[in-house]
């Protein structure tokens, strides 16, 4: 990576001490999915690195995004009175790919334990890619409803609800040291896949009916947002409170406990400004690219938080990718643009600015991810996508370092 390094010595020393602990109380996960994954992983060759499973699963979400975007770039296919113009087989492929992603995501940790290659790199790689999928997956469902039933401004808040649910889980771990796996994840994956399969069998037109003005899109928003408020947010707040009360967590001061929210809130505020006050209404003209831009920067913020909580270091309060975003929003929303510059910002100019910023942010985020993974591989003398004798030796050395770590009840290590 040349002279640019993303991990400090404090990060690397923290990774050496790190031990993953999680608590999973979901009945679907514990009694159905985990036994199923334990059975399936037996058929995976032992020479196959766990990160390969993780990456292949993530690629399934990317394939879905590209495939649906090809047939419905502007989320307008469902607006047709003749019915959704996306071919039926697309929904089938998308539903299957979601299940592949979900199951490989559940099997990668088991493959790591089975091959003796568990370590911090695997968790970071897994959760880092999951943060990107958090932006991609809800975009599939927007094509079921179209912009008539689910206008882009409402899509914006749906995506931010998904971001919040994902981010709060890692804020929780940043403060408690334990990953409390949310109930909603398993049901969401099955729900998304089920909705796509239903679109194959009965046609996506079934998502266009309404009862007394209450549409299926309204129900989708209500269930998604309501489930987080009921099954996730209060439980996370309680777990953090108990970790302070029982002195089992990181015991950070108040402002340090809240520090992960600073970058998250800054991103939300900046994106709200652009979405509502764009001079050319960019949210309705290029919603798909806008979601990718917001999702990419969110993923970078989430990845940096994951690095901080795993290495037990201080998280960032502001993300470097928000500087060009804030500058862009300032230009695209400046109210006196025509008076100052003697010309107005054209729609095409704002569109190309959006495309350029998305490309820049994506490349910067990819560079960050590649750099972090490379630095961890160099430090632990392992390879990301290959199991070697050095990999197993590094894992054994790491286990010796953390063997005195405090145990957690009802914990699964991966």
Mean pLDDT per 10-residue run, the chain (414 residues)? 82 94 87 95 95 97 96 90 84 96 95 92 95 93 93 96 95 94 86 93 84 88 86 90 94 94 97 95 96 97 97 95 96 85 89 97 97 96 84 49 39 34
Strand partners, 181: 24
pLDDT at position 400 is 47
Task: Give the Cα separation of 73 and 65 in Å (integer).
Answer: 10
Establish if 2 belongs to a structural domain.
no
Establish if 370 belongs to a structural domain.
yes
* Sequence-distant (≥ 6) Cβ neighbours of residue 134 within 8 angstroms: 162, 163, 166, 295, 298, 299, 302
Nearest to 365 by CA among 135, 173, 170, 72: 135
pLDDT at position 321 is 96
* Sequence-distant (≥ 6) Cβ neighbours of residue 385 within 8 angstroms: 49, 51, 52, 55
CB-CB contact of 329 with 273 (8 Å): yes
Establish if 292 belongs to a structural domain.
yes
pLDDT at position 413 is 35
CB-CB contact of 312 with 15 (8 Å): no
From the list 11, 34, 127, 148, the catalytic residue is 127
Question: How many CB atoms within 10 Å of residue 93?
Answer: 17
Establish if 408 belongs to a structural domain.
no
Establish if 356 belongs to a structural domain.
yes
Global confidence as pTM: 0.91
- Look at the block and give the residue holding tokens 């931010």: 160
Establish if 396 belongs to a structural domain.
yes
Q: Residue 126 sits in which domain range?
A: 9-402
**Which run of H or of E encompasses 214?**
strand 214-215
Nearest to 184 by CA among 137, 127, 231: 231
Q: Provide the domain count of the chain.
A: 1
For residue 149, give both structure tokens: 């039933």
Is 127 among the residues known to form the active site? yes
Establish if 362 belongs to a structural domain.
yes
pLDDT at position 206 is 83
pLDDT at position 204 is 83
Give the HSE-up count for residue 300: Cα atoms under 13 Å, Cβ half-sphere: 25
Burial environment of residue 121 by CB neighbours within 10 A (0 to 12, 13 to 18, 19 or more): buried
pLDDT at position 221 is 92
Give the HSE-up count for residue 275: Cα atoms under 13 Å, Cβ half-sphere: 22
- Look at the block and give the residue holding tokens 């201080």: 314
pLDDT at position 2 is 54
pLDDT at position 390 is 53
Establish if 241 belongs to a structural domain.
yes
């Amino acid at each position: 990576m040349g002279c640019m390094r993303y991990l400090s010595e404090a990060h690397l020393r923290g990774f050496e001490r790190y031990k993953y602990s999680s608590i999973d109380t979901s009945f679907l996960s514990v009694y159905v999915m985990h036994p199923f994954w334990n059975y399936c992983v037996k058929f995976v060759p032992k020479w196959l690195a766990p990160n390969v499973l993780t990456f292949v699963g993530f690629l399934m979400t990317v394939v879905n995004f590209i495939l649906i975007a090809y047939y419905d770039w502007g989320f307008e296919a469902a607006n047709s009175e003749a019915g959704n113009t996306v071919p039926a087989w697309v929904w089938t492929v998308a539903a299957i790919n979601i299940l592949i992603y979900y199951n490989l995501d559940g099997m990668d940790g088991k493959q790591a334990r089975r091959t003796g290659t568990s370590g911090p790199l695997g968790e970071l790689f897994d959760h880092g890619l999951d943060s990107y999928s958090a932006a991609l997956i809800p975009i599939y469902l927007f094509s079921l409803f179209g912009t008539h039933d689910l206008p882009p401004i409402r899509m914006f808040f749906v995506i931010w609800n998904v971001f919040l649910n994902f981010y709060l889980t890692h804020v929780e771990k940043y403060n408690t040291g334990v990953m409390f796996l949310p109930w909603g994840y398993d049901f969401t994956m099955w729900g998304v896949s089920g909705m796509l399969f239903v679109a194959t069998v009965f046609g996506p037109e079934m998502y266009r009916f309404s009862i007394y003005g209450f549409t299926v899109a309204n129900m989708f928003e209500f269930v998604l947002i309501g489930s987080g408020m009921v099954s996730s947010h209060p439980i996370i707040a309680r777990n953090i409170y108990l970790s302070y009360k029982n002195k089992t967590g990181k015991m950070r001061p108040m402002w340090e406990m809240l520090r992960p929210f600073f970058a998250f809130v800054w991103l939300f505020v900046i994106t709200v400004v652009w979405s509502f006050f764009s001079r050319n209404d960019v949210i309705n003209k290029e919603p798909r690219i806008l979601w990718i831009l917001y999702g990419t920067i969110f993923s970078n913020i989430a990845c940096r938080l994951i690095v901080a909580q795993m290495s037990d270091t201080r998280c960032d309060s502001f993300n470097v990718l928000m500087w060009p975003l804030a500058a862009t929003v300032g230009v695209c929303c400046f109210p006196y643009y025509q008076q100052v510059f003697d010309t107005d910002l054209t729609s095409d100019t704002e569109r190309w600015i959006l495309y350029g910023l998305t490309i820049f942010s994506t490349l910067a985020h990819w560079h960050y991810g590649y750099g972090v993974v490379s630095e961890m591989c160099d430090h632990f003398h392992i390879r990301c996508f290959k199991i070697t004798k050095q990999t197993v030796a590094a894992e054994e050395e790491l286990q010796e370092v953390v063997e005195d770590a405090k145990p957690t009840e009802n914990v699964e290590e991966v």
